[in-house]
A = this chain, B = another copy of it.
């Protein structure tokens, strides 16, 4: 972990503003310098987009926002910064001059990362006094949401600087990829550029519209690329015959005229007009802001879906949530369980896979959430893996659910749990499911659990029994809702 407290952002456009949002929402103080008159408004809007997206992305509370300062000159922004992110326009001479000014005014050990999409760090650092702390830190739009950041050092960049930048980016939820070699456009943009040039040809040659070309990706290969790059995709497609065998089939097709990329299309006014007009058609009346929110909501949903699959970008989110959780725990001190009221051990959001065709959480998922809350309670009481391995397993014999309110995808939900009874081998409990944001009660679940391997000779293990007894001593004093213990009544009439 780094000791970076204060960050300077030089440039507040789409990329720079995205950086500011990510830094600030992760609790860092940020000074911004951007001479454009609209920079302040644009950056503030970007922060609100970022806040909207990150608050949907995770239920774990974000740290308290850092302080945001807009500076009138570069010197004020960088003079006390431990980390500087430069996102100026993509012109080599301009960037060189800005970086030189940063180098001059910043503390000599402050890290400097350039957001450039393709300029070489060796060219960017050559006139600096402290070139060893300059590298490329290339993010992807929206910067507050996409995990990837390519780190590329130049000839003079130190390994320690790259390592420190990588740790810092990781701490704010990113996936740093440290490049082995310096190359124009790094890795991702080379592939994006190949795609882009081919797509331009398809429009220029009148083969397809921009909407058709986009559809050819987003309904097919693009869905896979959210999970796996092309090498892993081909490994799977190759099946048990192996990657080597699969690859050998590609020999011939590489000679076929399957791309026009031997040549570069001329992006003249005609082609620009064609694309701009087709793009207007494709947008079908949606404003940029509407498209942007759709993009963010979709990315949030995809990241959450992948988190539940323990895969790729979802694992980055999971790691990020651990960091956030630790921060939250530290900020709130140790959470002590208070047995004088129903306890809360489980919270989640309504998963994309849990909703039925009308957009509400399917009724069986209510029970799933109650089961998860029961598991959390059992763990809290000390029923760990050892207990299960010793042949004990607590079985649910009866469940009574009262559905009260529907709830839709993404809503934050939590469960309060009250013990209604406990004896040598049985537990009776009440779960109350509610929405965290509105406090509406969604359902109640009443459950009877029995330790299947308990017998009169072998009831709950003593330590577990003691923990249950302690909780029950308090919970038996709580008022018992009058809907418990009742069955489903006959219909009359």
Contact = CB atoms under 8 A, between A and B. Distances in A.
A353 B304 contact: yes
Contact of A490 (B206, B231, B485): B485
A177 interface: yes
A380 to B, nearest CB: 18
A461 interface: no
A261 B258 contact: no
Contact of A308 (B183, B359, B487): B359
B267 A312 contact: no
A364 B365 contact: yes
Contacts of A232: 210, 214, 279, 282-283, 291
Contacts of A198: 190-191, 193-194
Contacts of A436: none
Interface size classification for chain A? 35 or more
Given A202-B187, A259-B194, A365-B364, A231 B213 contact: yes
A489 B493 contact: no
A477 interface: no
A454 interface: no
A197 B261 contact: yes
Interface stretch (A27-35, A122-130, A268-276): A268-276
Contacts of A263: 262
B400 A488 contact: yes
B258 A193 contact: yes
Given A191-B216, A231-B282, A403 B409 contact: no
Interface string A217-240: 111111111111111110111111
B367 A364 contact: yes
A230 B196 contact: yes
A275 B230 CA distance: 12
Nearest to A46: B239
Contacts of A276: 242-244, 247
A404 to B, nearest CB: 8
B487 A148 contact: no
Given A180-B212, A183-B205, A244-B272, 9 more contacts: A191-B213, A240-B288, A261-B262, A262-B264, A366-B367, A367-B401, A399-B400, A400-B487, A401-B401
